[in-house]
Homo-oligomer: A and B are copies of this chain.
């Protein structure tokens, strides 16, 4: 698809618990949707283990390839929270105790509660700026084009609200989905012709099985509202020409 000027992002999900299958990640769907609303398109996501060398290498690969990188996970006080250290390694900077972060933690905890493990959460790579944590105070941070967020979805979402104005994107991609109880094979040729007429529109075909019936959801995506409506009409006309009933699946 021709989107030379699109603003792009990669999402890096850090956590052994997702790779073990124990935890189903909920952060990518949220971030993909929220970033698209800001005109930033998630082009790749990587799920990686709690391993400093892997985190550093992945962050370095992604920050050079995409406009923005967002990471989730690994910024708490326990021994397996190694994201800050790993990103300091990626940027070849030291970890420093951030005075502002320490102050926020001091205000949050009762006297005597701010132990060594909790103080670790004020350790931020040199040169980073903080991302405010309105829920539990331990901050995230931004360094270069990399935004470091926690893994707990409720806290991650609250902190994402605080960085919306640091992310400047292009036009959001609009999508229009039309479903039918048709088979992909029957519509493939006509759908390919619609795609060929509209090379700048991303047209996807997603088969599904619902209550034992095979169907397909056809999703057109483009920032151009007028073109989107035309493509949707062409898809509906194609389905009707094949004797199928188009169903408005959703409109975003």
Contact = CB atoms under 8 A, between A and B. Distances in A.
Q: Which residue among A54, A118, A185, A219 has the maximum number of chain B CB atoms within 10 Å of its CB?
A: A185
Interface in A161-188: 173, 175, 177, 184-188
A188 B77 contact: yes
Contacts of A116: 189
A36 B21 CA distance: 9
A205 B76 contact: yes
Nearest to A206: B17
Nearest to A117: B188
A24 B19 contact: no
Nearest to A194: B79
A24 B154 CA distance: 18
A154 B215 CA distance: 13
Given A116-B189, A118-B185, A23 B78 contact: no
Interface stretch (A38-46, A96-104, A225-233): A38-46
A20 B185 contact: no
Quick one: copies of this chain in the complex?
A: 2
Interface stretch (A26-34, A85-93, A123-131): A26-34
Contact of A80 (B31, B177, B203): B203
Nearest to A48: B44
Given A24-B29, A185-B117, A185-B118, A79 B192 contact: yes
A209 interface: yes
A241 interface: no
A197 to B, nearest CB: 12
B79 A188 contact: yes
10 contacts: A18-B28, A19-B41, A20-B32, A20-B33, A28-B47, A76-B184, A76-B207, A78-B191, A80-B203, A120-B188
Given A22-B177, A44-B48, A44-B54, 16 more contacts: A18-B45, A21-B28, A24-B29, A44-B46, A44-B47, A44-B49, A76-B184, A78-B188, A80-B204, A115-B185, A117-B184, A117-B189, A118-B185, A118-B188, A136-B214, A152-B207
